[in-house]
Structure 1
Amino acid sequence: MMLHKPNNQAVNCPQRRILISVSVLGSAGPIRFVVSEDERVAAVIRTVLKKYAREGRWPVLGSDFKEFVLYCPSIPGVEALSPLETIGSFGGRNFKLWKKSHVQKANAATAAAAATDEEDHKRQPIDLKGNNNRSWKTWFNKFVHLTKVSCH
């Protein structure tokens, strides 16, 4: 018996699949796998977490994909990728996965550093001759004085 394919059926084109590499913050190396270009970012994060757990990698991340964000370092100026976007729409193949708490800490540290730098510039007047009121020698002497260790 011979089976024939009817001519009136539309032939489905295969979905484009891409090899992506996801680096997890604190892990030894990237996780690589093939994914459809139409796959959502949230599904990719879920897949990364499953593969990460199957491989027994450290540190243990957990399984809640909502606690993580995915970045594409090859796209400048983009914050975290939206979970509803498709992974193929960014054009990148290398991604970074961060836990949201790390992102919030990094943003807070950056904001605090910027505020501290701004306050230091306000407090520390600079002479027109190029000499700062605080010299490196003064700092060094204070540092050495504070770190003296007495020997018995």
Structure 2
Amino acid sequence: MAITRWDMSKATESEKKSSVNDDSMTLNEIVNDLAKKNPFLKTPMKRRREEKEEVSAGEKRLEWLKEKAKKAVIPTEQVSTLKPEHIFLENGPLIIHMCLECKKFNSTRTVTNLGEGKIQLPLGLCTICRSHINRQRAVKFFEHELPSIKKAYDL
């Protein structure tokens, strides 16, 4: 006798009823059990991640910054000397990066009105901020202006 779809559905229903017992495992328990018994279901990277302690990205970044900061050198007064004729007579904008301490210090200083729509900002900078201005000028010169001149004059 040929088996039809109708016969298959009846057979599977009867099998389902007979297979359900009080001591049977749920589907989640079976999957978890298989995962524990078979280590090849997870890639080595996934296993390593589970074995490691979970450390947040912020903590990792802070540790990396601390390691880099140990190797950093605080500039001296000689290196951080600013020459106004070099800073203010250049073409292009002047961009000044300041640390938090310099920002706080300069925020409390008074501004002098010079008339004609101009004001005088008193600017106090630490050695690190002054050195950074000098380095910005050097990088801009060597990495932007010299290649521009070379291109313009076909050198």
Task: Please classify the TM superposition score into its range, dividing by the shorter chain length.
Answer: under 0.3
Q: TM-score, normalised by structure 1?
A: 0.23
The structure whose Rg is larger is 2
Q: Which structure shows the higher strand fraction?
A: 1
